Every structure is written in structure tokens, then in C-alpha cells.
Structure 1
Amino acid sequence: MSDSSLLNRSQDNPDLFWDISSITNKTKAIHFFQSVSSSFCVYSPTVKKIYSNFEVILPKDYHSSLIVLPNPFAFHDTFNRVNEEAIKSTGILLFPGEVFQKKGLIICITQTKTKKVQHIELDSASVFLNRLYQRRFNTPFLPILLNGDLKEFKAKSPYLHLHRFDPTAVTGLSQFEIRSITATISERFQSMLNN
């Protein structure tokens, strides 16, 4: 796809163009994002869609952005009419393990009462978060990404802020559609745990 056609798409849906100009080590951030992005769905508030089939593009003329480009032929992998209220911030962060001298991926969770930050390996964190969200919200932990979630820690390491899909806050979709979105997000996140 040419850069001019990418520009046209950015005007239709600016959420697909992720600004990384404030990130110091762009190469490291892009590599990290590319390595984990297939385990997430991406939400676009502009068009109220969740994309589960996309590729990460680095346009030649843009040194400060990456593009999340949905597969235009995968209609069944795009969920429409998802209200913004169903996507919620979590404050949960995903880091490459090397930041903490560990392998794999690390989830950072700030405890509500003590404000202490816990660093938990992804496998353990997944079980913990599912229990926590089932107890608190009666829903599994369903992580999802939005434009702006790729950030940098102390100009050294990239990390992702995780939003979540809240099936109980969805309006205007059938239970079948909600279950389908829930299953897709869960399956993609599970694929990260199995790697």
C-alpha cells in the first residue's frame, strides 16, 4: 500500500496512526509492539470498531508513527458498533521482562489501597487478573489496546498500557455478538501465554 493511500486512511480513521514521536528508542518500541500486538485486539473510538486482524506497518515517510492496518478482507474479524463506554482504562502495564532482569513479559499492577506496584510474570498475572476481575466485575480480564497505549519508561524501555473490554457495559449489541468479542479477545491474549 502506498504512503498516499495510507494518508487517506488516516483521515478516515486517525486512530490507526499511532504517534511515537515522544518515544526516545523508537526501534525498540516498534519491535516490542510488533512482537506482542498479535495477542491483542485494537479498539478505534472514532469508528467504534474492534479489530482482531491487522498488521503493523511502518510507513517510509513517517519517522514518528506506526500504523495499525486492519485486514480489509477479514470482515468477520472486525466488530462494529462497540460503544466507547465498554472500553475501560486499567492502569495495568505490560513490560518486556528485561526491564526487571527477567525473561518473557511482566505485568505491573498498582495495588489500590497501598499504591505499591507488583511485578508479576505474565502467566501468573493472567490467572490473578481473571480472578480479580471475576470477583470485582463478574467478567474475565479482557485486555485491549488503543492508540496511545504504547509508551516508554524512563527513555529506556517500551511498555503498553492495557485497556479492557467490559462486556457488561456494551449497548446495542446482541448477546451473541458480545460473546463473540469476548471469546476473540480472550483467545488472542491466551495465545501470548502459550508462546
Structure 2
Amino acid sequence: MPSTCAAHIDDHWRELQQQRELAWDLDAISDRSEALAFLRRFENCLCIYSAYAQKLYSSYSFVIPQTDHGDITILPDEQAWQATYNEIPPQAVEPAGVHILPGETLGYSGLYLKVPSENRLVASRELPFHKGLKLLIQRFQARGEAFLPVLIKEDLRGFEGRMPSLHLHRIVPARLGPRAQPDIGAMQEAIAEHLLGLFRRA
């Protein structure tokens, strides 16, 4: 990975760890329109992976049907071809066990992360978004890995029919095929920039 690219990624992670606050004033979400409004807050703030296409999209838009039924679809930005990463095999993407949810579902305000314990016998914890993300970044750095969270395109089907929460997956760079190797640095930087976008839009 070029040193300039690695430096940019390190800068993004450092800035993420220095963030102190994320205050989204969300109302309690109880119907489809509110669930979709919750989802729209993440548009272009998290990269989206398609197992079918084996692609990772970092620039896209949500297409939501006007009727009360129908799948949410992802429309990649065709003008930003460099924002799509190809040849990402399904085995390189795994569930992170982490959920993003509105604090109102827990009796709080703002955005929360449900973070699994490293000890399987200990229950998951619900933490304010910035604290949970900092914990995850530090946890993975201690293992010599990067935390590269993404949404799975297929998970968005029927999203509005469930309690609004988003299950995060993660890219595992060690499982990427040889064709993806030149793009790893750029992909890591794109994911880090998207996470920073969540904080900056707060």
C-alpha cells in the first residue's frame, strides 16, 4: 500500500478516535416512514456490499418505492466508477455482530451501537455511537486488524418491516482475492471517510 494512502487512512482513524459527540435528534420510530427516514440517514455514510455482484459501493443512492411495499434498491453512482470496488468475494465479508439502532428504542436519545463482548458468555452492550465505534476500532487494532464495517445490500430487503436497526458486516482484507489487492488501501480509506461522514453530519 503506498505510504501516502496509508497515512490518509491513519489520519481518518485518528480523527474518528478523537470525536466526542454524535447527537441525532431521532423521534421514536414506529412505522414504515420513520424506519425509512432512519435508513436514509446512512445513505452514502456506509459502504454497501453486494454478494451477488461481488462489489462494494461507496457512492450510491437508495431507491425506495412510493408504495407501502417493495424492496429498497441500491443505485450506484455511474459517474463515480472509482467508488466501486470489484472482485470482493463473499468469504471476505462476515457478520460483525454489531447493530446500529436509534437510542429511542432503548429509552435514550441519539444513535447507539450494540457491541458484542469479546467473551461469548457476556452479553452485548449498547453504547453511544462514538464510544462504541472507538471501542471497536481499538479492539481490532489490538489484533493487528482494521475494523472495516459495511452494510449488506441483501439485508436491506424488507428493512421497513422490522424494528429499525442496521446489522453491520465487516470486510476481512486477508480473505480478499489477488485481484482486489491493489484496491485494498483505497477501499479502507473510503470506508474510513464514510465513518467520518457520520460524525460530521451529526
| TM tier relative to shorter chain | 0.7 to 0.9
Contact 2:87–2:180 (CA<8 Å) still a contact in 1?
A: no
2:37 maps to 1:43: no
Query: Unpaired runs of 5+ in structure 1?
Result: 1-23
Q: Report the equivalent of 1:167.
A: 173
Q: Report the equivalent of 2:130.
A: 123
CA displacement at 1:25 relative to structure 2? 2.9
Query: Unpaired runs of 5+ in structure 2?
Result: 1-29
2:73 maps to 1:67: yes
Give the SS at the match of 1:173: helix
- Of 112, 117, 136 in structure 2, the residue corresponding to residue 106 of structure 1 is 112
- Of 77, 83, 94 in structure 2, the residue corresponding to residue 77 of structure 1 is 83
Q: Report the equivalent of 1:10.
A: none
2:95 maps to 1:89: yes
Contact 1:96–1:105 (CA<8 Å) still a contact in 2?
A: yes
Which has more strand, going by share of residues? 1
d(CA) in 1 for partners of 2:179, 2:188: 12
**TM-score, scaled relative to structure 2:** 0.76
CA displacement at 1:102 relative to structure 2? 2.1
Over the residues paired in the alignment, what is the CA RMSD in angstroms?
2.3
Contact 1:149–1:162 (CA<8 Å) still a contact in 2?
A: no
Give the SS at the match of 1:32: helix
Contact 1:28–1:157 (CA<8 Å) still a contact in 2?
A: no
CA displacement at 1:118 relative to structure 2? 0.3
**TM-score, scaled relative to structure 1:** 0.78
In structure 2, the CA distance between the partners of 1:156 and 1:54, relative to structure 1 (3 Å rule), is closer
**Partner amino acid for 1:123?**
H
Q: Percent identity?
A: 25
Q: Report the equivalent of 1:189.
A: 195
Highest relative contact order (Cα 8 Å, sep 6+), 1 or 2?
A: 2
